[in-house]
Every structure is written in C-alpha cells, then in structure tokens.
Structure 1
Amino acid sequence: MTPDTDKSPADEIGFKPLYAQVRDRLVRRLVDGTWAPGMPLPSEMELARQLNVSQGTVRKALDSMTADNMLIRRQGRGTFVAEPEESRILFQFYRLVPDVGIASFPDSRVISHGSARATKAEATALGIEEGGDVWRIERIRSLAGQPMLVETITLPADRFPGFGELTEIPNNVYRLYSERWGITIASAGERLKAIAASGRDARKLGCEKGEPLLLISRVARDLEDRPVELRWSRCISRDLHYSVNLR
C-alpha cells in the first residue's frame, strides 16, 4: 500500500487528541467506501506507517472505533469492518427484551412502502424541508409469530435513490442501507413515551384499543452524524421491557 495522502491542515495536531484525529481519518475511509463492510484492515503497524504516527496511537483509534461497533476484532484473524448483520450490531439498535427468556431479533412483515411528502415532524428530525420527498415504510414486527410492534420508517428520498423500485424489503434494513447505498448507521438517539393504542394500531397488533403501548421514536445517523432515518415503533409491552446498560 502507498502512504496515506489525504492529509489537510485540519488533520494536523490541534484541539483534538492525536488518536482522535487518526480515528477521524480512518472513519473517512468507511464513509468514502475505501473500507467496505466485512473488509479486513491493514495491520496496526502498516496503518501507523501510512499515517506517520505511533502504533499505540493507531491502536487507541481502532479501540475507539471498535467500542462504537464500527469495527470487529476477530481473535487470531485481525480487525474487520463491521457488517450490519453482526449480532452485536443488531442488538446495539434493538433494546426490547422479553420479561422471561432469551432476547431474540424479531421478524418483520412490510404492510406498505412508497413515496410521500415529509410532515413537519419528519422534516425536523431528518433536517429536510417540510413537504420534501421521503420514502415511508410501515411494517409489523413479531416474536415467535406474535405481533409485538408496528413500525413506521421515514427516509429522505435524496439519500436513497431508487428505493421505490425495491420489490422486497429485508428484515435487517440497516444491512440494506449499507449494501445498496453505502450508508452505515453509526448511532441513534431514542425517546420513549407511554401512549394508548389507536384503533388502527390495535387492529394490526391484535390488542384492545386503548391498551398501553410504548412509543419509541428513533433518529438514526450515519458515520458523518447526519440524520438518515426516522423510526416510530409502537410496542405492546405487556411481556417485554426496554433494556439499556449504563456505563
């Protein structure tokens, strides 16, 4: 490999620690597709040579990216770009756990998907103009065949050209975003609120109108911290709870 040539004045030592600057430059390789999902990374020694920093600085940058689930370390094999189907990645963004038993990832059935105009709430969350073009997906997610949440996903149309041409939307949409549009979901913020089931949601979930539901509103962001997905999940919580570990 040739030494890294994507340096700019902003890459030089400044307010950020050196390892954080190195991390920024390595993240750029994920953003621009130089490093694709599943791809093995060069050794720490080679990266240190390319970036003209110490191996310890590179290791600290890689550790930070691994902690954020951008990379996966495999014992005896090296470091790889994380793929969205990795179980640890899936559960990073899925926090509903059964009250009894082992956590599992739900199946999904798409009810509808197509183009729409962004509502004020969607536009605010996604950083686009109200009335702008979006793709909107509604699906039901189930565990062991039992519907447990109904979900509405909104995507900015300009980030996902050709989405409307899809004949099938897979359960793991984050993998779809990565493989087809090169968009990696790096982080997400969620807000939780108790609501009562509407008649529409009750019919889809097979519950009583007015039954307590947990509303989870999520804005997912890419590697450059730009919002790329708004998701509303209305969940029956009688046998589930929302679990998060604080550190």
Structure 2
Amino acid sequence: MNETKQNGRRTEPKTPPPAARAAHASLGYRPLYRQVKELLIKRLGDGSWAPGQLLPSEPEIAAGLGVSPGTVRKALDEMSSESLLVRRQGRGTFVASHDEERILFQFFRMVSDNGERRFPESRIVSVSVAKADEHAAARLGIALKESVVTIERVRSLDGRPCIHEHIVLPRSLFPGIERIKQLPNNLYALYSTKYGVTIARGSESLKAVAADARQVELLRCEPGEPILLIDRVALGVDGTRAEWRRSLCRTDRSHYLTDLK
C-alpha cells in the first residue's frame, strides 16, 4: 500500500468510499478527464441527468468518482464546448436543452440573405410507418425492414415555404411518435423530453439538385429550379443514430452558413 509523509511521520492515504473506488476502477487507463467525460455523457444518455437539470457541484461529482475537482472541471469544460452542457455565471452548470435558440445556432444553418437568423415555422404534410429500405437501414444503422417512422413537413419563413423535409426515425427509439396528433415545430425538444433521446451532434452532406414535382407543389418553385439538398444523420449523446433527415431548401432568398473554428 502506498504511504505518504506528513510532519515527518508515515501515514496511509485516505481511502475513498466504496462507490468512488468502483467508479474510479471503471475508468481504466485512458487520459483521466476523457474517461470522466465518458462517464458523465453516459449519465446524459441514460436519463440520469435530464435536459435543463442543474448538475451537482464539481467537488460533489469529483468525490463520487474518486478524482480531483480539476479533472471534473476539464471534462465539464469540454462537454460545454460541445454544447452538451451550459454554464451559467453564478448559477452553475446545466444539461443543455433543445430550445429554439440552441437549435438555431447549432443545427439550423439556413440563413436569410439579409443575415437574419430565425427559427422557421413548420407544417406537417404526412406521418407514416413503413419498413426500412436498404438506404434508410444503412443511414440509421438498423436492420433491413426494421420499422421506421417517416415525417414529411414543409418549413416556412414569413409565410413563404422554403424547406421540404423528409425525416426518418427508428420506431424502436420513438415508440408511438406517429400517433402524436400535433407534432411540435421543435422535434429535437420532443425527442429529448418525451423519449430521452438528446441529439448531440450529426454529420451532413450538401448537394445541389433540381426541384422535382413534389418541391414545385410544396415549395412553389419552378420545375428544375436549383435547390440545396442537406442530408443529415443526427446522433444521440451515446452515439446512437437517431434520425436521418433530408432537407430540400430554396436558396433564392437564403443561403447555408457555417462557422469554421
């Protein structure tokens, strides 16, 4: 057993409580703050910490894990930089919630040509249940013919349709979502509060395509008009593929904007 010297005498180090020892043992041998971060992310994923919830203090978290407050602080700082947590001066650290402001700056990239960022209004066109085809199965990482829910909607700014969306969800993650009579504009908040699926990040690809008959009907554009296709797979905090979204966007009065850091 390791010993330390204190005032010229040899003393045994204090032994952390059993719960802290068990948590510390599970950390393994990777950089410590990264391991702490992974454990804390699991608490977000399993619902132990809900969106909007105030986290325990850094010393409390540190004592529970058997690590230093500085290690916890470094893990929380990284989670804050990834928009998983929100630090509020004088109030503490909170689990991030999918309010419109957060979505507007983290997930919604279409901006009016005058530079104004606004959250668009939405109109549900259809909601259906089907079996995943090869493309949906590959994008969502699920089995072929697994049950999926498809939401089709149109999003508008100032009453002008500008985005036609197809959203495909694994039905196992969102049971009964197809029966909700009025799906909210802010779907990510619904995923989090009702189903415990918090969208943390995603991957997108962009491509210019020509408007087909469906976009002509729903977006009131011209046949063959160039529009922007944004193909996104959104991931939960635990890395689960939670949503596949295809957004077909008019760009005659708006553009795609991202900040490079």
* Structure 1 alignment gaps of length 5 or more: none
Q: Does the CA contact (< 8 Å) of 2:156 and 2:163 recur in 1?
A: yes
Deviations 1:171-226 (A, max 9, x none): 01000001111000011100000000001111100110100000000000111111
Q: Does the CA contact (< 8 Å) of 1:84 and 1:90 recur in 2?
A: no
- Counterpart for residue 192 of structure 2: 178
Picking from 6, 11, 27, the partner of 1:11 is 27
Alpha-carbon deviation of 1:4? 4.8
CA distance in 2, matches of 1:137, 1:5: 47
Q: Does the CA contact (< 8 Å) of 2:24 and 2:65 recur in 1?
A: no
Q: The residue matched to 1:7 in structure 2 has which SS?
A: helix
Q: Give the partner amino acid of 2:116.
A: I
Deviations 1:45-101 (A, max 9, x none): 111111111111111100011011111111111100111115134420111111114
- Counterpart for residue 236 of structure 1: 250
Q: Does the CA contact (< 8 Å) of 2:100 and 2:186 recur in 1?
A: no
Q: Percent identity over the alignment? A: 48
- Counterpart for residue 50 of structure 2: 36
Q: Give the partner amino acid of 1:246.
A: L
Alpha-carbon deviation of 1:5? 7.1
Picking from 138, 149, 153, the partner of 1:139 is 153
CA distance in 2, matches of 1:131, 1:5: 45
Q: Give the partner amino acid of 1:100.
A: N
Q: The residue matched to 1:177 in structure 2 has which SS?
A: helix
* Residue 118, structure 1, aligned to residue 118, structure 2: no
Structure 1's consecutive aligned runs of 4 or more residues displaced over 4 angstroms after TM superposition are 2-6
* Structure 2 alignment gaps of length 5 or more: 1-17
Q: TM-score, normalised by structure 2?
A: 0.89
- Counterpart for residue 22 of structure 1: 36
Q: TM-score, normalised by structure 1?
A: 0.94
Give RMSD over aligned pairs.
1.6
Aligned length: 244
Structure 1 residues 98-247: aligned runs within 5 Å: 98-247=112-261
Q: Report the structure number with the largest CA radius of gyration.
A: 2
